[in-house]
């Protein structure tokens, strides 16, 4: 029996629903890849990173981005418990990107750590 389920946003021909961890990863991806006020009926969904991504790439900006990711994911998806110490945001000035490695636990899957890896681009 599934603990979590959501509509499949990537390949609905394969399956109409995604369940459990796929549902959580899809939600985290949606939050990270959506800017605040981008969705008409869900203006609170997403993360406000626009200004931080265009700041000087340094440790302070990495910490600002990490705080914003932590706060918004914690507020918008209560199934996710982020491990602050293992999560990292590392800027790569040559490519103008930040590498995100988000380590978290999922309620209902206690004792297991999961990692969402992504790139934040300017």
Q: Rounded to an integer, what distance in angstroms lies between the CA atom of residue 88 and that of residue 82?
A: 11
Q: Rounded to an integer, what distance in angstroms lies between the CA atom of residue 42 and that of residue 36?
A: 9
Q: Is 47 helix (H, G, I), strand (E, B) or coil?
A: strand
Per the structure, the complete domain to which residue 84 belongs is given by 5-121
Q: Rounded to an integer, what distance in angstroms lies between the CA atom of residue 71 and that of residue 82?
A: 10
Q: Rounded to an integer, what distance in angstroms lies between the CA atom of residue 119 and that of residue 121?
A: 6
Q: How many domains does the chain have?
A: 1
pLDDT over 60 at 1, yes or no: no
At residue 19, the pLDDT reads: 63
List the CATH number of the domain containing 71.
3.10.450.40
- pLDDT category, 117, cuts 50, 70, 90? very high
Q: Which residues, at least 6 apart from 18, have a Cβ–Cβ distance to it below 8 Å?
A: 5, 6, 7, 8, 9, 26
At residue 13, the pLDDT reads: 65
pTM score > 0.85 for this model?
no
At residue 11, the pLDDT reads: 67
Residue among 64, 72, 6 at smallest CA distance from 34: 72
């Amino acid at each position: 029996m599934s603990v979590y389920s959501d509509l499949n946003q990537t390949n609905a021909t394969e399956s109409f629903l995604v369940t459990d961890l796929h549902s959580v990863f899809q939600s985290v991806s949606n939050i990270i890849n959506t800017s605040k006020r981008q969705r008409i009926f869900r203006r609170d969904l997403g993360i406000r990173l626009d200004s931080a991504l265009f700041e000087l790439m340094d440790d302070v900006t990495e910490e600002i981005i990490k705080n914003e990711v932590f706060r918004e994911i914690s507020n918008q998806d209560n199934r996710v418990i982020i491990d602050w110490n293992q999560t990292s945001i590392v800027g790569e000035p040559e490519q103008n990107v930040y590498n995100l490695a988000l380590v978290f636990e999922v309620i209902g899957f206690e004792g297991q750590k999961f990692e969402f890896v992504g790139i934040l681009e300017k």
